[in-house]
Amino acid sequence: MLHPLSLEYRRACLTDDKEWVDNWLRTVPAQFAKRIRRQHNKLLFSEEFRYDGDARRAANLYVQDRRDHFKEIGGRLNLAASDDELCQAARQAVQHVESIQRLHRSADFEWLLTLLADYLRERDVFFYDDEAAPEGCTRLPQPEKRGVTHETLFKRLVDEGFWRKVLRRGVARKVEAEAIRCGLVNQREGLYVSDDTLSRFRAHRCRNRALLESLVAFNELGDEFTLAELSDLSVSNSDNRRAELMTRIAGFETIARSLEHAALFLTITCPSRFHAFRKLGKGKVIANTKYCGSTPRQAQQYLSGMYACIRAELHRRGISPYGFRIAEPHHDGCPHWHLLLFAPQGQAADMIAIFRDYATREDREELAGGDGPRFKCVEIDWERGTAAGYVAKYVCKNIDGRKSDGESIGINFDGVDTATAAERVLAWASVWGVRQFQQVGVAPVTLWRELRRIATNEGIEIGSDVISRAAEAADAGDWAEFVKVLGGTGLKLADLPIRLGRETGRTNRYGEHVGVRILGVVDADDGVFVKSRIHEWTVEFAPDRERSEPWTRVNNCTTARRGGTPRLSPPVDQHSLREQRHGYRPVTASAIEQGPFAGGGT
Annotated active-site residue in 9, 62, 119, 394: 394
Residue 550 has pLDDT above 60, yes or no: no
Q: Does residue 432 contact residue 297 with C-beta atoms inside 8 Å?
A: yes
Residue 380 has pLDDT above 60, yes or no: yes
The pLDDT tens digits of the residues spanning 144-158 come to 888 899 999 999 999
The pLDDT tens digits of the residues spanning 489-504 come to 988 888 999 999 888 7
Question: At 68, phi and psi to the nearest 5?
Answer: -65, -35
Entry field: residues in the chain: 602
**Separation of first and last alpha carbons in the chain:** 68
Q: Provide mean pLDDT across the span 173-199.
A: 94
The whole-angstrom separation of Cα 548 and Cα 538 is 8
Q: Please report the DSSP string for 510-575 in residue order.
A: TS-B---EEEEEEETTT--EEES-----EEEETTT--B-----------SS-TTSS-SSSPPS-HH
Where does the pLDDT of residue 477 fall: very low under 50, low under 70, confident under 90, or very high at 90 and above? very high
Q: Provide mean pLDDT across the span 541-559.
A: 47
Share of the chain above pLDDT 90, in %: 61
In the sheet with 224-226, reading across from the earlier edge strand, the strands are: 224-226, 215-218, 538-541
Q: Does residue 552 contact residue 229 with C-beta atoms inside 8 Å?
A: no
Residue 59 has pLDDT above 50, yes or no: yes
The whole-angstrom separation of Cα 12 and Cα 9 is 5
Annotated active-site residue in 302, 358, 390, 510: 390
Q: Provide mean pLDDT across the span 107-112.
A: 92
The pLDDT tens digits of the residues spanning 4-54 come to 888 898 899 999 999 999 999 999 999 999 999 999 999 999 989 889 999
Known active-site residue 51: no
The whole-angstrom separation of Cα 38 and Cα 45 is 11
Whole-number pLDDT of residue 590: 32
Q: Does residue 425 contact residue 328 with C-beta atoms inside 8 Å?
A: yes
Q: Does residue 589 contact residue 247 with C-beta atoms inside 8 Å?
A: yes
What three-state secondary structure class fits 265? strand
Whole-number pLDDT of residue 567: 31
Whole-number pLDDT of residue 172: 94
Strand partners, 265: 340, 378
Comparing 202-206, 425-429, 499-503, which segment has the lowest mean pLDDT? Answer: 499-503
The whole-angstrom separation of Cα 269 and Cα 363 is 12
The whole-angstrom separation of Cα 99 and Cα 75 is 22
Whole-number pLDDT of residue 412: 82
Q: Across all residues in the chain, what is the average pLDDT?
A: 86
In the sheet with 517-523, reading across from the earlier edge strand, the strands are: 498-503, 517-523, 529-531
Give the containing element (helix H, strand E) for 258.
helix 238-259
Comparing 332-341, 538-547, 586-595, which segment has the lowest mean pLDDT? Answer: 586-595
Known active-site residue 62: no
The conformation of residue 354, written as its DSSP 8-state character, comes to H
Where does the pLDDT of residue 133 fall: very low under 50, low under 70, confident under 90, or very high at 90 and above? confident
